Amino acid sequence: MTVTGVKLQVESSTKLKIQLRVLLIEDNQLDSELILRSLRSNGYEVASVVVQDEAAFTKALRAHNPDVVLADYNLPTWKGMEAVAVMHREGLDVPLILVSGALGDVTAVECIKRGATDYVLKDGLARLPEAIRRALEEKATRQLRLEAERNLARKATELERSNADLEQFAYVASHDLQEPLRMVTAYTQLLAERYQGKLDADADKFIGYASEGAQRMQVLIQDLLAFSRVGRDGVVRREIECNAVMLEVLQTLSSAIQESGAAITAGALPTLWGDRTQLAQIFQNLIGNAIKFRQEKEPLIVAISAEKNDLEWRFKVTDNGIGIAPEHLENIFIVFQRLHARTEYPGNGIGLAICKKIVERAGGKIWVESAVGHGSSFIFTMPLASCGAPEAAQP
């Protein structure tokens, strides 16, 4: 024998076999032996238990923790497919392969629909090792997916708890800061009133800086409170006529609309299920931003519309304002994210963050489509109906 031949023989004799625990549902001893021989001859080191009825199967299932169940379709007192229900009852995920003398295609398909992994005919046992290998791979993939889903759910829970803690901190901190800040603001205003012009120019300037900073901080804290209160004060969900909400928002913004000369049009808006106050906040923030970020040389035009698809209402607020650069389209929804200096445009960058929080808590999404110098379209969705709510009405 050549050296190469000896090497191959050694490798073949030392090749590790795959250990396999088999729970076999079979009443024919010869068939049992043929099945196990087929597995052993194809690289499996088999530890097997053979049962013939439900009681023995349940006992063996608990005691031996099988990797796979091989079941004859018909037994004198039991059917192999009934093992699927037993495994479900025991909370076990074990592949079941039917090994039967005769099984029609219709019956085989029905068995697979009921939970069988595969089927092999007894006159085709050569296919059984491959069917088991595939079934075990599918089980491993399924377990990996379930583990990934559990990890994702755990991380989502942790993130939700972390966000709740941060919101609680923001609420408490901003609430508790208001009183000392009011005192600072009051005394800096008192200093300005009492000593303005009586000290040197630097002193007047420093007092002005302190007063302005305290007032800006007061507005910032109020905005932070408004953001943290979204969802905290309780959401009152009921049927909302969006046309009526829009009229109220336009009335609230009437002074700014008149001053800017804006032309604002709203199409037919729907009746939906949600929180009226929060929906008004969304419209007010989006229309208010359109007025704030208008172009100087072109009259402002704002259009509000809504369209319905199978699952949601899609609202759009479009303007011909200054627009937004592509790199900022995501950032603008972040709390306190500003794209311009305060000397150019007032505000703390909280409005769009509030819109995003309201929309997402309602189960919708919000985004913007824009280009610099060509205006913006803010689009947000609202579900047709919330949990426990009646189906939304038509516009």
Angle between helix 128-195 and 29-40 (nearest 10): 60
Instruction: Report the b/e string of 72-108 with b at 16+ CB within 10 A.
Output: bbebeebebbebbeebeeeeeebbbbbbbeebeeeeb
* Cα 25 → chain centroid: 43
The reply to whether the predicted model has a pTM over 0.85 is no
**Domains of the chain (ranges, CATH numbers):** 3-144 (3.40.50.2300), 162-229 (1.10.287), 237-383 (3.30.565.10)
From first to last of its 395 residues, what are the pLDDT tens digits of the chain?
A: 443 443 434 344 445 678 999 999 998 999 999 999 999 998 899 999 999 999 999 999 999 999 999 999 888 888 888 999 999 999 999 999 999 887 777 888 888 888 899 988 888 899 999 999 999 999 999 899 999 999 898 888 887 777 666 666 666 666 666 677 778 778 888 888 887 777 788 888 888 878 777 776 766 666 666 666 665 555 667 888 999 999 999 998 998 999 999 999 999 999 888 888 889 889 988 998 899 888 888 899 999 999 998 888 999 999 999 888 888 777 888 866 666 555 555 555 678 888 898 898 888 999 999 888 889 999 999 988 643 344 444 44
pLDDT at 173: 62
pLDDT at 14: 45
pLDDT at 358: 87
- Give the Cα separation of 230 and 364 in Å (integer): 15
